[in-house]
Structure 1
Amino acid sequence: MTMLEVLSNHRLETLKRIREAEVNDSIKEIFEQLGKKNKKEDIWWGYDQEGNDNSRKALRDFFHLSGTFVVSDALPYLKWLSVGEYGKAMKKAAKELDHMVGGWLEEHKQRKLCGGMKENQDFMDALLSIVTDEDEISSYDADTIVKATCLGLILAAIDMTTITLTWALSLLLNNREDLKKAQQELDVQVGRERQVQESDVKNLEYLQAILKETMRLYPAAPLLVSHESLENCTLAGNNFPTGTRLLVNVPKLHRDPSVWVDPTEFRPDTTTNLTFFKGQNP
């Protein structure tokens, strides 16, 4: 569903105008806020409407709590220690997020009843047309499935994108020569008379290398998503019983000196990075 209704070439092209409008609004908002030296306001994805305050706070709380160390995560038998402050905060954040997505769901349902789903359908519209309570795909009801699926995509997209862009900007500010090279590439390939468009990215090889190097040094999900073995297995002479959880140490793999030159350094112009983008072996 995600590949077809969100990431397929057709859907990406259909939703292109929305992405461009959101980016333009965000850039405009940041520019305006930078000019207001004496006015302290939050900047979040280009919006500052009063109606979005609760949504922004709920998302911030979620990411803050998801990164908070809780003793019971490492020592399950001390779970009773997490029942207090963090447990209540997590339940509150989850309730607020559910309320936020629930509001969107009701809007989509009303639009469907009014016959307004034929054009400009989004992912929630697609789910509503496929997932019903009659389907035996889960023990949960259709509304819960739709809300959870959409919320999962939103949370993952925001977190991964934010972390990667933050590290990319930080690395460029601390490596001014690479920043100058990126600026020069933009001047040559795009110019200064217009904004960068999605269609320009294929010509911005150095910019792509910068993002690739950023994700190599600072992957947004350093341990990936944990996997669990479905049956007993043997790997490299080691026996792993059913239910064994696997965590992949991505930063360790990305800093392997047998693969990368100066593995701990930010070097987007290395042959390895550039050849990856050209579909060749390093």
Structure 2
Amino acid sequence: MARKVLKDQDITFANRDPTEAGRAATYGGSDIAWTSYGPEWRMLRNVCVLKLLSNTTLDSVYTLRRKQIREAVGYLYSRVGSPVNIGEQMFLTVLNVITNMLWGGTVEGEERSRVGAEFREVVSKMMEISVKPNISDFYPGLARFDLQGIKRQMDGLARRFDRIFDAIIDQRLKIDDEGGSKDKVSKDFLEFLLKLKDEGDSKTPLNMTNVKALLMDMVVGGTDTSTNTIEFAMAEIMNNPEVMRKTQQELEAVVGKDNIVEEFHIHNLPYLHAVMKETLRLHPALPFLVPHCPSKTCIVGGYTIPKGSQVFVKVWAIQRDPSIWENPLNFDPERFLNSEWDYSGSDFNYFPFGSGRQICVGVAMAERMVMYSLATLLHSFDWKLPQGEELDFTEKFGIGLKKKIPLVGIPTPRLIDISLYE
């Protein structure tokens, strides 16, 4: 059924019908996630894929990712022997990487934990509200009453981000108006977007609403999903001592205990890559993907699907199907060693990033951030739970899959040279 929707009738289903909450969060559905297939969608996707998320661009900002990962290591080293909220710290690291790519802003010093917790709270609430059953979506005539207050809640959360975006855009425009040196303005994604908006395309112009909607996509979608994957992976590894042993053994062989992980090491870590794939099998970032909407009435598997329906593809269930996977609830990275499974969406037994035209645009970025983060965390530290605590894998419902109980771990240094933690 997933193949019929996402491949056989991909063009028909490559459309979206934003929920009231989705519209409120993305400037009326002006972003890449909620825009339906067509000229505007192609323009937005090209902007993201060619400029921000291409391998060439990601290679060019490696030093930025490295700096943030090293700062995270320094912070964790300062907390050795003490409980650390792993998800919160990794959220801030990913947030700093993405905001640097977008507009060059970072959060450092004493503000690190406070701002990270605040941003993550807002993002988590947005992801949670996005999938709440809303009377306004089922009975559009009642939407103007917002009977459950869902739109009002999302409007409030979106405004918090909008104020940040406005301030940053105004600052950038002011620098341009005053003839500020381009050398002083980093060649970031925002600069590219503003230039593209001014140059304009007569057929599919990029407007300021699109600009802010894309910024929202990157900040909200890019941070929460990668962070949740890292948190689930660390939880599974800490729950499986043999997996942790094999992962660290591989890291020692490739990196050594007298060195730090660099991104080029990742290509030589097949077991860790299998850990990431197995994590995304059991805990896909978007368990139902983003809902699809047929542009015309059609037949799928003998059923009539009316035009405008919401169609959910439950990848979470497919990837736990016992008819496909042996011992599907067991965390077993070895099932992905020497296998053909990848993130292309071509196999409908395993497609954690979706498939077809609307496949996630951030696969390359997510893969790099998750792999680099996991490799560094496991190479630099041993991890254990606080005394008396047990791991809880209960999932929190939302458009994104999240641990209901945050993962708290105690780091212990593993590296020989203490200067490697500086």
Provide TM-score, normalisation by structure 1: 0.83
> Does 1:45 find its partner at 2:106?
no
The aligned counterpart of 1:61 is 122
CA contact (8 A) 1:209 1:274 kept: no
Higher mean C-alpha displacement, 228-237 vs 178-187: 228-237
The aligned counterpart of 2:243 is 178
Q: Distance in 2 between matches of 1:128 and 1:205?
A: 40
The aligned counterpart of 2:48 is 2
Deviations 1:6-40 (A, max 9, x none): 22222112111111111111221232244678xxx
CA contact (8 A) 2:281 2:319 kept: yes
Equivalent in 308, 313, 319 of residue 254 of structure 1: 319
> Does 1:131 find its partner at 2:197?
yes
- Structure 2 vs 1, CA of residues 75 and 227 (structure 1 numbering), >3 Å: closer, same or farther? closer
Deviations 1:161-210 (A, max 9, x none): 11100100000011110110000000001101111111000000000000
Q: Distance in 1 between matches of 2:311 and 2:226?
A: 25
CA contact (8 A) 2:233 2:276 kept: yes
> Does 1:168 find its partner at 2:233?
yes
Aligned to 2:333, what secondary structure does the other structure show?
Answer: coil
Q: Distance in 2 between matches of 1:51 and 1:213?
A: 31
> Does 1:17 find its partner at 2:56?
no
Q: Distance in 1 between matches of 2:135 and 2:124?
A: 16
- Structure 2 vs 1, CA of residues 101 and 256 (structure 1 numbering), >3 Å: closer, same or farther? same
Q: Distance in 1 between matches of 2:337 and 2:154?
A: 40
- Structure 2 vs 1, CA of residues 34 and 55 (structure 1 numbering), >3 Å: closer, same or farther? closer
> Does 1:108 find its partner at 2:172?
yes
Alignment of 1:139-178 (within 5 A): 142-178=207-243
- Structure 2 vs 1, CA of residues 95 and 23 (structure 1 numbering), >3 Å: closer, same or farther? same
Aligned to 1:234, what secondary structure does the other structure show?
Answer: strand
Superposition CA RMSD, Å: 3.2
CA contact (8 A) 1:58 1:96 kept: no
Shift of 1:259: 2.8
- Structure 2 vs 1, CA of residues 131 and 234 (structure 1 numbering), >3 Å: closer, same or farther? same
% identity of equivalent residues: 26
Report how many residues are paired.
Answer: 273
CA contact (8 A) 2:135 2:148 kept: no
CA contact (8 A) 2:136 2:147 kept: no
- Structure 2 vs 1, CA of residues 121 and 99 (structure 1 numbering), >3 Å: closer, same or farther? same
CA contact (8 A) 2:120 2:224 kept: no
Equivalent in 57, 62, 73 of residue 27 of structure 1: 73
Deviations 1:222-243 (A, max 9, x none): 0000010001111221111211
Q: Distance in 2 between matches of 1:145 and 1:125?
A: 14
CA contact (8 A) 2:270 2:337 kept: no
- Structure 2 vs 1, CA of residues 51 and 176 (structure 1 numbering), >3 Å: closer, same or farther? closer
Shift of 1:53: 5.3
> Does 1:122 find its partner at 2:200?
no
Q: Distance in 2 between matches of 1:33 and 1:269?
A: 33
Q: Distance in 2 between matches of 1:119 and 1:174?
A: 46
Provide TM-score, normalisation by structure 2: 0.58
Aligned to 1:243, what secondary structure does the other structure show?
Answer: coil
Q: Distance in 1 between matches of 2:288 and 2:342?
A: 27
- Structure 2 vs 1, CA of residues 9 and 71 (structure 1 numbering), >3 Å: closer, same or farther? closer
Q: Which structure ranks higher in relative contact order (CA pairs < 8 Å, sequence separation ≥ 6)?
A: 2
Q: Distance in 2 between matches of 1:63 and 1:90?
A: 12
Shift of 1:82: 1.7
Q: Distance in 2 between matches of 1:251 and 1:181?
A: 26
Equivalent in 52, 72, 78 of residue 134 of structure 2: 72
> Does 1:190 find its partner at 2:245?
no
CA contact (8 A) 1:117 1:125 kept: no
Q: Distance in 2 between matches of 1:153 and 1:15?
A: 16
The aligned counterpart of 2:148 is 82
Shift of 1:48: 4.5
CA contact (8 A) 1:59 1:97 kept: no
CA contact (8 A) 1:55 1:97 kept: no
- Structure 2 vs 1, CA of residues 19 and 212 (structure 1 numbering), >3 Å: closer, same or farther? same
Equivalent in 340, 354, 374 of residue 276 of structure 1: 340
Q: Distance in 1 between matches of 2:261 and 2:110?
A: 27
Higher mean C-alpha displacement, 12-21 vs 47-56: 47-56
